[in-house]
């Protein structure tokens, strides 16, 4: 009995696309900006004195990765850009980048398109 070999997708060939559009680039760092305007968030804001707008500061490496995400470059290509910029500092680049991108995806801030496999 022959087993059909299942073709595996290579995650490095996927292309991330930004979904979160409210961000700023300031003093070399990227800040993702969030407005808390849903009814439940408004109530919680009032309850715990939370501000209407909050931001998330990305570190230098994450900021660079965020800037490179253009909806055209694959995960692998983004990793290569980071390697050129940071050298061995960002190693192991693929593992670190994949973990970061999966986190962004889980939060709904980016999505992935299946690249050419």
The residue ranges of every structural domain in the chain are 11-113
Look up residue 102 and give its two tokens. 């999966």
Question: What is the per-residue pLDDT across 51-108, written as a single tens digit (0 to 9) for each?
Answer: 777 888 999 999 999 999 999 999 999 999 999 999 998 899 999 999 999 999 999 9
pTM here?
0.80
Q: Which two tokens stand for residue 25?
A: 């680039």
Closest to 33 (Cα-Cα) out of 50, 66, 63, 57: 57
Provide the token pair at 84: 């050129």
pLDDT on residue 7: 54
pLDDT tens digits for range 15-52? 999 999 999 999 999 999 988 777 877 777 677 776 77
pLDDT score recorded for residue 5: 47
Which is higher by pLDDT, 23 or 114? 23
State phi, psi for 76 to the nearest 5 degrees.
Answer: -60, -45
What's the pLDDT score for residue 21? Answer: 93
**CA–CA distance, 16 with 42 (Å, rounded to integer):** 31
Task: Provide the 3-class DSSP secondary structure of residue 84.
Answer: helix
Fold for 11-113, please state it: Outer Surface Protein A; domain 3 (3.90.930)
């Amino acid at each position: 009995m022959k087993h059909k070999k299942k073709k595996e997708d290579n995650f490095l060939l996927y292309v991330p696309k930004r979904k979160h559009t409210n961000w700023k680039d300031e003093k070399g760092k990227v800040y993702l900006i969030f407005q808390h305007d849903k009814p439940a968030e408004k109530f919680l804001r009032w309850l715990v004195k939370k501000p209407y707008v909050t931001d998330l500061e990305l570190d230098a490496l994450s900021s660079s990765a965020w800037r490179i995400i253009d909806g055209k470059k694959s995960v692998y290509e983004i990793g290569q850009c980071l390697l050129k910029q940071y050298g061995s500092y960002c190693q192991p680049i693929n593992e670190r980048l994949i973990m970061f991108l999966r986190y962004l995806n889980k939060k709904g801030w980016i999505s992935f398109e299946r690249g050419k496999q």
